[in-house]
Amino acid sequence: METHDDLLQPTLGRHDSPATSIHSARTGYVVSFFGGPLAGATIALVNAYRLKRLRVDWPLGVLAAAVTVFPMWWWFRGGGRWLIAQLGPGAQGLFMRALGLGFFALVYAWHRQYYRNMALFGLNPPSSWAVAVAAVIAGLGVTYVLGVVFS
Amino acid sequence: MKSDLEGTGRDLSIIEHEARALVERRRYPQARLTVARGLKEFPASVELQYLAAFIDYAQDQPDTALQGLKAVLAQAPHHYGARTLSAHLLEDTHQLAEAESVWIDLLRDYPQSADCYAGYGELMLKTLNLDKAGRLAQEGLRHSPDHAGCLYLGAMIDVIRNRPGAQSEHLQRMLHEHPEQVRSAIALAVALSEQGNERGALRIAQELLRHQPDSPHVLAYVRELKARTHWSLLPLYPMQRWGWTGAIVVTLVGITAVRFSERTLPPGLAELLAWLWIAYVIYSWTWPRLLRRWL
């Protein structure tokens, strides 16, 4: 049980202190939309690292890999035929967008209290450009390689 | 008042009492005059120096306030008011670790002060340490069960953890015990807004602004709520009502509809639909931000 003295231990300013803000939900949304689940997981894990909770959040990375690899394998095995018939050749792009946004919804639910906390107190997120662009490029790169492998 | 103060030999405690009363009533210009005149007669008065720093803080002059506080703390390092004010000032100037250190020292000296638990808890909440903020609020409420600051902290944590107003025991108690407090009204407005009742929240915030027309925080909150309830944001209702879930659904439905229309509608109509969709996407990402700046 936590004592009064435990409560008075400093939380901020130590080398292992969690950051006081994380990359915004807007960044996660845009990155997941353009880069898919792997890019979304990159932002989620960067946020987990900033919050010093990678030990709890690392399964998000595994989940992102799973929801990228298995649906792509299914797609290239002919699973997306019906969707292609309805929507044309752009169906695969839409399928990946849906996966990315679905994964973002999961990440948002996972880190919801931090996002709400930031929104409620108007906390400014860190600059996200570099990490967002890197995450999208990496996500698209891995998706492309997987597409080549499975096709 | 002028003639009273200019009379020599006026008792310091009367001047301090008058200045404190003016500060409590938020009549800062008059309080500043009283303090300035008092300091002419009693330049060594720690209390008047502290009140001068507090007035600077209340009137958004943090640098001057911090300088004044340093002078106060040099003379009276254990001055409770000066220490709490310095914690708030350090927090406002983003010296968060230093602010935390002041709160911890204060709590070591005043382990039963619910004010300090509320202040430290609020700092924890503003730095995403929700669990610790909750524990501090509980500890403060253990010492002072109806403390407004700790109840406010608890109500905010309930909102963040998605407990609606009706289920938030802290909010209910706060409204019951401190209906006159500004923070009660703010907590209620925030809870209503989080439940999607933006218009109800706006009415409360506007009423607050009438009572506190000089408060930049309330003004900013009213502006934010006015932007959210503006008629031009009606097409964004799904996003406003269901947040990111609404955005995801609208995005996927929109893209699917555009793709589907390319194969089923005449080319001209499909192209028009695609342009309309692009315009809607641009509007949804830019217009709310512009509106907040303009209102």
Interatomic CA distance for residues B168 and B156, integer angstroms: 9
Assess B160–A contact: CB distance below 8 Å, yes or no: yes
Q: Which residues of B46-58 are buried (b: 16+ CB within 10 A; e: fewer)?
A: bbbbbbbbbbbbb
The nearest CA of chain A is from the CA of B8 a distance in Å of 48
Measured between beta carbons, which residues in chain A are less than 8 angstroms from residue B136?
Answer: 7
- The answer to whether position A146 is within a domain reads yes
- The answer to whether position A12 is within a domain reads no
Assess B223–A contact: CB distance below 8 Å, yes or no: no
* pLDDT(A108) > 90: yes
- The answer to whether position B261 is within a domain reads yes
pLDDT per position as a tens digit, B215-238:
777 888 888 889 889 999 999 999
pLDDT given at position A60: 96
Interatomic CA distance for residues B189 and B187, integer angstroms: 5
- The answer to whether position A14 is within a domain reads no
State which residues form the domain around A77: 22-150
Does the pTM surpass 0.80? The reply is yes
Contact B244 A91 (CB under 8 A): no
pLDDT per position as a tens digit, A26-60:
999 999 999 999 999 999 999 999 999 999 999 99
**Number of domains into which chain A is organized:** 1
- The answer to whether position B288 is within a domain reads yes
Interatomic CA distance for residues B288 and B266, integer angstroms: 33
The sign one gets for the Cα dihedral B109, B115, B118, B123 is: negative
- The answer to whether position A126 is within a domain reads yes
pLDDT per position as a tens digit, B60-102:
888 899 899 999 999 999 999 999 999 999 998 888 999 999 9
Assess A84–B contact: CB distance below 8 Å, yes or no: no
- The answer to whether position B286 is within a domain reads yes
Higher pLDDT, B4 or A150: A150
pLDDT per position as a tens digit, A111-150:
999 998 998 888 889 999 999 999 999 999 999 999 899 8
Average pLDDT, chain B: 89
Assess B190–A contact: CB distance below 8 Å, yes or no: yes
Mutate to test the interface with B, among A20, A84, A86 (most CBs of B within 10 A): A20
Measured between beta carbons, which residues in chain B are less than 8 angstroms from residue A2?
Answer: 135
Measured between beta carbons, which residues in chain A are less than 8 angstroms from residue B238?
Answer: none
Q: How many of the other CB atoms lie within 10 Å of CB of A103?
A: 24
Retrieve residue A149's tokens: 């492998």
- The answer to whether position B287 is within a domain reads yes
Contact A2 B135 (CB under 8 A): yes
* pLDDT(A66) > 90: yes
- The answer to whether position A15 is within a domain reads no
- The answer to whether position A3 is within a domain reads no
* pLDDT(B9) > 70: no
* pLDDT(B2) > 50: no
Q: How many of the other CB atoms lie within 10 Å of CB of B131?
A: 10
Centroid of chain to Cα B14 = 33
Retrieve residue A97's tokens: 């967008």
From residue A68, give the alpha-carbon distance in Å to each of A25, A77, A81, A132: 21, 14, 18, 19
- The answer to whether position A77 is within a domain reads yes
Nearest to B96 among A2, A12, A113 (CB): A12
* pLDDT(B118) > 50: yes
- The answer to whether position B281 is within a domain reads yes
pLDDT given at position A25: 95
Label residue B280 by pLDDT band (50, 70, 90).
very high
Look at phi and psi of residue B115 and say left if phi exceeds 0, alpha if psi is from -120 to 50, else beta: alpha
Nearest to A13 among B97, B125, B263 (CB): B97
Interatomic CA distance for residues B136 and A127, integer angstroms: 31
Q: Which residue of B has its CA nearest to A24?
A: B244
**Number of domains into which chain B is organized:** 1
The sign one gets for the Cα dihedral B249, B250, B255, B258 is: positive
The nearest CA of chain B is from the CA of A130 a distance in Å of 20
Contact A101 B248 (CB under 8 A): yes
The sign one gets for the Cα dihedral B22, B27, B28, B29 is: negative
Measured between beta carbons, which residues in chain B are less than 8 angstroms from residue A17?
Answer: 97
Label residue B166 by pLDDT band (50, 70, 90).
low
- The answer to whether position A97 is within a domain reads yes
State which residues form the domain around B262: 240-295
* pLDDT(B4) > 60: no
